[in-house]
Structure 1
């Protein structure tokens, strides 16, 4: 392994442990708001559930919600998923939640803008709205997000280092119209501007799902020249690998997305010297949005004008065995966030202008 790859591995290891360092630090005591929220109901409005990441997110939400109800921190916290991933359907879902008396709604949005009118109505009705993952632009909503743009840019930086600045890149995009897809793509374009020797030779939507990505890549591969690297958004890496294998094409460097099937495949490739890394937003970060909603209801002052940025999870080859051992079959490598973790994150979020 050359020195540059060793440096990259060290950097990824640091990124992977950043959440642990933040939440285990004893330098500051989390300022948890203690207002009575025992009668409040919090709902999750989710636009899509057809992949491992969303299923893991929903399971984590349910586990956290059940525990919060048992501890009498909230009265109820159910999750609802739209069937068609359409903003109109999700807007109606949120409208129903307002009428049903939910005091807070966490929204993983189908569109960054199409729900703004409904969310503004929810805020006007006194409902706390926290947009998460697929965030919205309506200013009255709190925003819990990830640095997806940097996540995309890092993929290109890594491939530029591995390929000595020159090569053909295939881009696997996510679910069209969702803010996450747009941000990761923007980051990839940022990286391409820095490394003009890398060229995007093809782009398909994988919808963050292995089967969709495999079909899409299989369809475009016959039209592509040699592919040296593949940038992804999560949930699509294993499908990409299967498509290249089925087409008898040389396996490129595929950036992976922390799904269990991807990690299992990566494990089988390590012995042959295959090198890559894996990165994703942890599905367990939905609990950050849950606790933001609960803490706002409890009286904590949380800024709306800036993003609350949850940490991403990066894995390198050395971390693979441990991550795989902890990841359930069909699941996603994850980070858990408690109420204390979330409040520490909130307290570390600078006010506007700081």
Structure 2
């Protein structure tokens, strides 16, 4: 398995270095929806725990306004400030690579997560977002028995997440020629944007049997259909509280129940990225790609997740240092990853 450019030779905890004087910064491309805002809170909580425990000395968060040039400039500033590690949720898979390489050349550990960059020297905490696109597409094909009209609501343009999820959905639909994509809009993972974009395209569309989104867009999509007086189609969901509440509402109002699926990456992944960065700075051997699993919520688990996910939050486990170390050890040993921490109260 390939190792990142700063990997150490030893994996024994007794050989790890003291990181109590180190600093780990987060460069985030976009903070305009509930997922990203919760992701930032999780990061801050993990970093504060590490500071209080004298594991690191300091942290910092900088946010770009969905602008790759702005994020690249912020990374260059973080390099000049001398951070030991820079962790990124990237605005572009390629536009930040120059700045990332600059950081690596200065001996700074770079970890990218969620929306990835492709710089070879960066460690990657990675979801399989192509599979994330396949999951709801397969569900739609199954529910429509391979025939029907589908509206596609994409995410933030230019991000690797959107490119990968769209690719995964397209792969499934191309294998099922009875599925016809009748329209595509960019909902930007945000309910208000999805509402506006779906409302704008609806008058030009024939009957829509299903809508596939990427999470954070389903409530806005539902509202657009309702306002237009159109029948509510099958709408796939993310794992935000308002999306799960919509599922519960539609399920109660629909004879026989409302069939859909909810799946997503989780904002708690920022805690994995934080602890991966800390462990690399400490000298632990870490693979270049650390794979994590998507959260999938079944109807049987819906009530449990709703109970622990407050309004305005996203269903998400939060991952500890110990859990992350167990994950890294499982990857090194090629064994099953540790069980997810499960539903966690978000505050």
TM over 0.5: yes
Residue 66 of structure 2: SS of its match in structure 1? coil
> Where does 1:1-354 land on structure 2 (aligned, <5 Å)?
32=13, 34-82=16-64, 84-271=65-252, 272=254, 273-304=257-288, 307-349=289-331
Residue 268 of structure 2: SS of its match in structure 1? helix
Q: Which runs of 5+ in 1 are unaligned?
A: 1-29
Instruction: Give yes or no for contact 1:31–1:347 (8 Å, CA) kept in 2.
Output: no
Deviating runs (4+, > 2 A) in structure 1?
30-34, 347-352
Aligned-partner Cα distance in 1 for 2:51–2:326: 22
Instruction: Give yes or no for contact 2:234–2:260 (8 Å, CA) kept in 1.
Output: yes
Instruction: Give yes or no for contact 1:210–1:237 (8 Å, CA) kept in 2.
Output: yes
Instruction: Give yes or no for contact 1:213–1:239 (8 Å, CA) kept in 2.
Output: yes
Q: Deviations over 1:85-112 (max 9, x none)?
A: 1111111100111111100000111100
CA RMSD of aligned residues (A): 1.4
Aligned-partner Cα distance in 2 for 1:115–1:86: 10
Aligned-partner Cα distance in 1 for 2:30–2:58: 22
Deviation at 1:350, TM superposition (A): 5.6
Instruction: Give yes or no for contact 1:61–1:286 (8 Å, CA) kept in 2.
Output: yes
Deviation at 1:260, TM superposition (A): 0.9
Aligned-partner Cα distance in 2 for 1:274–1:303: 42
Aligned-partner Cα distance in 2 for 1:344–1:99: 33
Residue 283 of structure 1: SS of its match in structure 2? coil
Q: Which runs of 5+ in 2 are unaligned?
A: 1-10, 335-347
Deviation at 1:303, TM superposition (A): 2.1
Aligned-partner Cα distance in 2 for 1:309–1:335: 16
Deviation at 1:351, TM superposition (A): 8.8
TM-score, normalised relative to structure 1: 0.88
Change (3 A) 1:350 1:231: farther
Residue 80 of structure 1: SS of its match in structure 2? strand
Deviation at 1:347, TM superposition (A): 2.2
Instruction: Give yes or no for contact 2:239–2:264 (8 Å, CA) kept in 1.
Output: yes
Q: Name the residue aligned to 1:9.
A: none
Aligned-partner Cα distance in 1 for 2:326–2:235: 35
Residue 230 of structure 1: SS of its match in structure 2? strand
Deviation at 1:348, TM superposition (A): 2.4
